[in-house]
Amino acid sequence: MPTDSGKQNEMHRALNSLISTLLDSQKGFADIGEHLKEDTLKRYFLAESLKRASFRGDLEEVLHQNGVHDIKESGTTAGTLHRVWGDLKAKLGGGDHTLLETAEQGEDEAKKAYADALNQDLPLPVRQLVAEQQAHVLTSHDYVKSHRDALVSK
């Protein structure tokens, strides 16, 4: 059984990992949103970018309340490469379908990050916050996937 200090470290690692993933998501949604042609999707992606920034702020606040002030302010290397790849596809003429495929891949990573975090021994209020955010990420993933699939059937 982890000590209180061990549980705190476990929580800090889990939340820092989510914060990095959310930063990747925030940037990814904004980048893809700028390239989408369909206005409804463009608005959704830009709003989702803001939502991920809000989620990040909520998790950073939890860390601040727990005495952590050196919060990682960068995304993951994989997230950066994923955004560069998506940007390249957009510039090479990839349409909305290609951009939505890229977004769904990013959402798959976010889903995994949230599942990993919830597998940690988190204090109940933090677990509830992470679970609420995860529910939104799952809904967002399904929204992106359904719109991607709809573009294939057109």
| CATH code for the domain in which residue 64 is found | 1.20.1260.10
Assign 80 a pLDDT band (cuts: 50, 70, 90): very low
d(CA 83, CA 28): 6
42 — pLDDT class (breaks 50, 70, 90)? very high
1/77 Cα distance (integer angstroms): 33
CA distances from 63 to 104, 135, 144 (A): 28, 21, 30
pLDDT at 5: 66
**Between 110 and 151, the higher pLDDT residue:** 110
Number of domains in the chain: 1
Cβ-based neighbours of 149, under 8 Å, separated by 6 or more:
none
Q: Who wins on pLDDT, 1 or 147? A: 147
How is residue 80 written in tokens?
């950066």
Could you list the residue range(s) of the whole structural domain that residue 13 is in? 4-152
Q: Please count the helices (runs of H) and the strands (runs of E) in the chain.
A: 5, 0
* Range with the poorest average pLDDT among 11-15, 74-78, 79-83: 79-83
How many whole angstroms separate alpha carbon 37 and alpha carbon 68?
41
Q: What is the rounded distance in angstroms from the CA atom of residue 37 to the CA atom of residue 95?
A: 8
pLDDT at 83 over 60: no
